[in-house]
A = this chain, B = another copy of it.
Amino acid sequence: MSNNIKTLALAQVAEVFDKHVPFHNLLGLDIKRYDENGVEVVVTMKPELIGNIHQQILHGGVTATVLDIVGGLTAFAGLVSSHDDWTLEALQERLTTLGTIDLRIDYLRPGRGEVFTGTGSVIRSGNRVSVCRMELHNEQGTHIAFGTGTYMVG
């Protein structure tokens, strides 16, 4: 029963982040997977996302955006997983307080590639604040960037 609530809550969040956030639509972001075990956020290269026309690489702002979204979704999934007594209403209310407090991006390599996938994990979980680490790789497995973010979850 409560697993149904968790699954439903995460599916609703994925739907919103995938379809109903205007800036995500502008970038063409795709929430490819989102469950209690984690998230995959994918962005596909297109000319408008280029940061350097000579090198044809992804703009660092796109990298930061994807890693921030991955971190927020990862933090929220961690909250959902933290106990089994959630009501759907309680989770929906928690979602309204979800927000980034601070974010660090480490740019490792130029953003070359066609399909970039962001993933993350919780490194500190709490009822109010969670800290996540995130990674961005291209379709060949090249590691483009690391992120570390602190998120308000309640």
A106 to B95, CA, bound (A): 20
Interface 1/0 per residue, A138-149 and B, CB below 8 Å: 000000001010
Tell whether, in the assembled complex, residue B101 and residue A103 are in contact, meaning their CB atoms are under 8 Å apart: no
Is A100 positioned at the interface, with any CB of B under 8 Å from its CB? yes
Tell whether, in the assembled complex, residue B69 and residue A61 are in contact, meaning their CB atoms are under 8 Å apart: yes
Contact of A129 among B27, B52, B101, B108 (CB under 8 A): B101
Interface 1/0 per residue, A90-111 and B, CB below 8 Å: 0000000001111111111100
How many A residues face the partner with a CB closer than 8 A? 44
Tell whether, in the assembled complex, residue B53 and residue A61 are in contact, meaning their CB atoms are under 8 Å apart: no
Contact of A61 among B25, B68, B106 (CB under 8 A): B68
Binds B, one of A3-11, A30-38, A43-51, A77-85: A43-51
Q: How many copies does the complex hold?
A: 4
Tell me the nearest residue of chain B to A53, going by C-beta: B20
Tell me the nearest residue of chain B to A131, going by C-beta: B106
A61 to B150, CA, bound (A): 15
- B-facing residues in A117-147 (Cβ within 8 Å): 123-124, 128-129, 131, 133, 146
Is A65 positioned at the interface, with any CB of B under 8 Å from its CB? yes
Tell whether, in the assembled complex, residue A148 and residue B150 are in contact, meaning their CB atoms are under 8 Å apart: no
Tell whether, in the assembled complex, residue B59 and residue A23 are in contact, meaning their CB atoms are under 8 Å apart: yes
